[in-house]
Each structure stands twice: as C-alpha cells, then as structure tokens.
Amino acid sequence: MAKDVWVSDVHDGTFDGQEIELKGWVHRTRGSNKIWFLVLRDSTGIVQCVIKRNDVGDECFENLKSALIEASVTITGKVNVDERAPGGHEMVVTGGQIIGAVNADNPFPITESAMEGAEGGETEFLLDNRHLYLRTNRMTTMLKIRSSVFGAIHSYFRDLDFIEYHAPNFVAGAVEGGSTLFEVPYFGRKAYLTQSWQLYAEAAMPALERLYTIAPSFRAEKSRTRRHLTEFWHAEMEIAWGGNADVMEHGESLVRNIASTLLDERSDELQSLGRDLDLVARYADTPYPRIRYDEAIETLQGMGVDIEWGQDLDYSKEKILTQDFDVPHFLTHYPRIAKPFYHRPDPDDPKYVLCHDLLAPEGYGEIIGGGERTWSEKEILERIDEEGTPRDAYEFYIDVRRYGGVPHGGFGLGVDRVCSWLAGADHIREVIPFPRDSRRVTP
RNA sequence: GCCGUGUUAGCUUAGCUGGUGGAGCGGCGGACUGUUAAUCCGCAGGUCGCAGGUUCAAACCCUGCACACGGCGCCA
C-alpha cells in the first residue's frame, strides 16, 4: 500500500519503458475527447500523463477526464521519453482511478487567478485558504528550502558535539522588556509564552557547556512588517568558556553553512523562485565584516542621518546602513544604556557591552542577536539594579553566577528570517506554513 | 499604538462627470487525436463589506462601523 514510486523517478529515467503505478493529485488537465492530458503532481514534482480513448476504453477515459484539479488518483502507464512532454518524460496511461474526488459544485479554490495576486505579498483569500495554498508549487518549494535550513542548523551544531537542549514554553517572566509577552491563564495564575530559550540555557550551561535548540518563540508585538511573526522559530546556542568573538564566529559559520547547504540541496528550488545562486554563493563564501556601533553611528551621521550616540539602531537606520552591504555584517559594542542587563559590559570600556547583531543585506534586517553574558555575581547584581528591575524575579539566573560562574555567551537566530532572506521571499509569511501575526491566528 | 490604501461573481478585476453591473480564470454543456496556464462556441453564477444619510435615481457622493493589506515603532 505504501508508495514507493515517485514522479521524480520518472524524470530521472529510472523507469524508462517500464509500466508503473503513480499516486498523486491532479495538477492541471487539458485535451480533447479522444486524447486527454492529466498533469499529475506529487511531493517530488509534476508529470504529464497521456490518456488516449483508444488505449484505455470509454469508461476509463471518461472517468479520468472527470478528475478535477486536486482530485487524488492512481495512474498506471508506461514511462515514455518524449520531447513534447514537459520535463522530457511522460506516462502513456493504461489505466487509473480516482481515489478522492473533487466535486464540481465545490472546485479547488486556489486558481491561477488567485495566485496572480500573490506577487509582492499575499492576499487575504490565500491566507484564509492557507491549508490548500500549501499544495501550490511556490509554497511547496519554500517548505523544502525551510526543511534544509532546519537540517543545516542541526548538522552544524551536532557536528561540533553541541547538545540539543529544551527549555519550557510556559514561563513566569520575561527575557527582555515585559510588554511583549503573551499572557496565558495557568490554573488560576498567570503564565507567559516564552520569548527565548536563553535564560534556561544559561542554567544548563555549567552542565552541558555547548548547547543549542531550535524552538518557537512568542512575542506579542503588533508589528506589521514583512519581517515579523508573533510565533517564530528561534535557533539559539550557548557556550561556556567563550566570549563575544567566539559566539560571533559560530554565528558567522552557521549562517554560511546554511547558505552552502541550500546550494547543495536546493539549488533547483532557489532557481525556480528566481533566486540568483551567485548571490547565495557569496553569502556562503565571503567573510562577514564586523563594525563597531561607534563606526556605524559615524557612517550614518556622515550620510546625513539624524542620529545621536546612545540611540539604538532601529530598522530605518539599519536599512540605510545595510543598503551598500553585499554580505551580512556584524554590528558590535552597543552602548550599555541601549541594551538589557544580561549583556556584559566591556572591561576595556564599560560604556559599551560585548554584544553583536548580524544584519542581513537586501533589506531583510537583523537575523542574529547575541553576545557575552554578564557572568559574575557582582556584575549581574549591579546591572539588574541599574535597570531598576526587582532582583527576586531573577533569583535562579543569579544563582547560575553564585555557584561557579564562568564566562559564557550565545546568540539567537531568527530561522524564518534566514529562510525568507536566502529564498528571496517577499514576506516572512511565505516561508512558514501557518503564519501567526497580530491579526491572524487562523487557519 | 500611529499613518496610508483597499473591500464589486468561487478567484483576479473593469466600471469616467450618479442613470437597471462587464471581462478573464475556475465550473457545467458542446467541438477538436499531442496539448504545454491548450484553443473555439455556449450556459450558470452578483444584497457591489455593513449601517445610516443626500438625491427623482447611489457600486459611484457624505457619515459611522467592520475587516483586510502595506508601511513605521519594537525586535529574531
């Protein structure tokens, strides 16, 4: 019963001249009442099936002709090499049946015209019918790329003997500013959905030393941009005995590794999306420069941008700064006053903290935020107090420093943003099957 | 939270200075023995987002509301 022959095998030439059975869905149909072309789709691609009335008989011909778009069918036939067929191979049908019909009263709603509106964004209709839109070529391609990105992240860390480690998704407090937490009822108390794995990872850092995860993070931001989701996939890592530069090295290697994995595994998919492979190759091969915050401010001021030292760099500034970048750039050493308490002040100049953001080119924005953690008990208490945050909310975090604190650090990478950037997507929603934003939780 | 744009058939849309809403795709029927988003002929399918108002007359003008999309702030 299980399927063992795929459309891709037909185009590979594996079954040339042989009679096989294919299982899949009707992609498109066309033809006359003597010869009918049924384009069959499965997860590996599409193949043209040629149905001739004289070959299969009236009953089978009429039956297969009645299969509407997205009906599921099994088709038996002989694999034929024919240059008239898209892809060079086709099935000369000897028989077949409809497994799951589509009723003419309610045809498949995702039509060519529905997808015309998808360029440069997605229509309300396509978002409402996301469960069906998943079957289209563009979405399938995005999901395959996404799978390779996730695989590349796991491989990168596992090859370096990192331990995959899991933090809870229900949490009691915030990592950063409390306004962006989703509150959930929790048996008469309040709990929140996690924004980051980091605090829990720091707790395990003395146990595992090298750890990573890929997990969802939740932020209740009413952001309406092509870079934001309320539920996004967060790849995070934490290392003991490492500083800002070590963490940055990992961030750069990981991102370059993801780009080269996509070139190996998904170059056809990238090309079908119109992505320039040379661009992706550059992201895989070229080192990512480091720029200090002060240099960035000077550069921006030199360009006539109205910005003062001490301000955080918002997207409008990032955009100007990155417009001339041809690879991602790290921005390091932000002013202490612009960053939360867990960033360690630079011992060489405590006005700054040992942190970094990785900014993607082409306007895709920040893809990594990370740095060295404030790791001594004395410093963490100072930093918490100077922020005016109550200490008791962070008792367990302080304990990590109280019992054998060591230098350590880590980063968080927005996996969906990386997918969006490397695939050249128009919107982050394009790379996740069921996107969640401030206005949509369905389907 | 702020700013902007939009809502007409299942979908994508046209609809001028207000005068009984058109097309393409999809569906149905028919023609065609090699189509490539097939083509050709025909048919069905509309409370013009909702509620008020102006007018002899509103898809069109006015007011309010709802929803959506885009951008900004915030961030991965």
pLDDT digits (tens, 9 = 90+) for A345-402: 999 999 999 999 999 998 888 999 999 999 999 999 998 888 887 888 788 889 999 9
Domain closes at, from A100, A125, A150: A100
Residue A336 phi, psi dihedral angles, 5° rounding: -50, -40
- Could you give the CA distance from residue A243 to residue A375 in angstroms, rounded to a whole number? 11
Q: Are A290 and A347 found together in one domain?
A: yes
> Do the beta carbons of residue A181 and residue A174 sit within 8 Å?
yes
DSSP secondary structure letters along A83-126: TTSTTSEEEEEEEEEEEE---TTS--S--HHHHHTTTTS--HHH
Average pLDDT value for residue range A179-202 = 88
Q: Are A89 and A138 found together in one domain?
A: no
ipTM of the complex: 0.85
> Do the beta carbons of residue A191 and residue A218 sit within 8 Å?
no
- A174 — pLDDT class (breaks 50, 70, 90): low
- The three state secondary structure string of A17-65 is CCEEEEEEEEEEEEECCCEEEEEEEECCEEEEEEEEHHHHCHHHHHHHH
Q: Are A157 and A254 found together in one domain?
A: yes
- Could you give the CA distance from residue A81 to residue A90 in angstroms, rounded to a whole number? 6
- Judged by average pLDDT, the poorest of A137-146, A201-210, A315-324 is A315-324
- Could you give the CA distance from residue A116 to residue A125 in angstroms, rounded to a whole number? 12
- A344 — pLDDT class (breaks 50, 70, 90): very high
Is strand B within 7 Å of residue A65 (CB)? Answer: no
Residue A36 lies in a domain: yes
Report the nucleotide nearest the CA of residue A103, measured to C1'.
B27
CA A304 to chain centre: 35
DSSP secondary structure letters along A169-223: SEESS-SS-GGGPPEEEETTEEEEE-S-SHHHHHHHHHHHSEEEEEEEEE-----
Burial A158-168 (b: 16+ CB within 10 A, else e): eeeebeebebe
Is strand B within 7 Å of residue A125 (CB)? Answer: yes
Average pLDDT value for residue range A212-216 = 96
Which nucleotides along chain B are within 7 A of a protein C-beta?
Answer: 1-2, 10-13, 24-28, 31-39, 67-76
Strand B: which residues 387-416 of A lie within 7 A (CB)? 412-414, 416
- Could you give the CA distance from residue A443 to residue A432 in angstroms, rounded to a whole number? 13
pLDDT in tens, A304-343: 887 888 888 888 888 888 888 889 999 999 998 888 889 9
- Could you give the CA distance from residue A374 to residue A395 in angstroms, rounded to a whole number? 15
Q: Are A221 and A305 found together in one domain?
A: yes
* Residue reference for tokens 């009822």: A185
Q: Are A374 and A252 found together in one domain?
A: yes
What angle separates helix A395-402 from helix A198-208, to the nearest 10 degrees?
Answer: 20
Q: What tokens were used for A129?
A: 């019918």
Choose between A1 and A60: higher pLDDT. Answer: A60
Residue A159 lies in a domain: yes
Number of domains present in the structure of chain A:
2
Is strand B within 7 Å of residue A439 (CB)? Answer: yes
Domain closes at, from A100, A125, A155: A100
pLDDT in tens, A19-42: 999 999 999 999 998 999 999 999
Residue A347 lies in a domain: yes
Q: Closest protein residue to B38 using CA and C1' atoms? A: A30
Q: What is the pLDDT of residue A120?
A: 46
Q: Are A149 and A55 found together in one domain?
A: no
Give residue A21's domain range: 7-100
Residue A118 lies in a domain: no
- A299 — pLDDT class (breaks 50, 70, 90): confident
Q: Are A96 and A162 found together in one domain?
A: no
The whole-number Å distance from A418's CA to B76's C1' is 9
CA A165 to chain centre: 20
- Judged by average pLDDT, the poorest of A126-130, A213-217, A241-245 is A126-130
- Could you give the CA distance from residue A443 to residue A434 in angstroms, rounded to a whole number? 7
- Could you give the CA distance from residue A428 to residue A367 in angstroms, rounded to a whole number? 12
How wide is the angle at C-alpha A274 spanned by C-alphas A272 and A276, nearest 5°? 115
Residue A104 has pLDDT above 80, yes or no: yes
Residue A47 has pLDDT above 90, yes or no: yes
Is strand B within 7 Å of residue A111 (CB)? Answer: yes
Strand B: which residues 306-335 of A lie within 7 A (CB)? 312, 314-319
Q: What is the pLDDT of residue A396?
A: 87
Mean pLDDT estimate for chain A = 90
> Do the beta carbons of residue A161 and residue A210 sit within 8 Å?
yes
For residue A139, give the DSSP letter.
Answer: H
Average pLDDT value for residue range A46-52 = 94
Q: What tokens were used for A78?
A: 């002989």
Q: Are A143 and A91 found together in one domain?
A: no
Report the nucleotide nearest the CA of residue A114, measured to C1'.
B11
- Which CATH number covers residue A331? 3.30.930.10
Domain closes at, from A80, A100, A120: A100
Q: Are A188 and A258 found together in one domain?
A: yes
Neighbouring-strand partners of residue A238: A211, A410
Q: Are A80 and A186 found together in one domain?
A: no
Q: Are A93 and A216 found together in one domain?
A: no
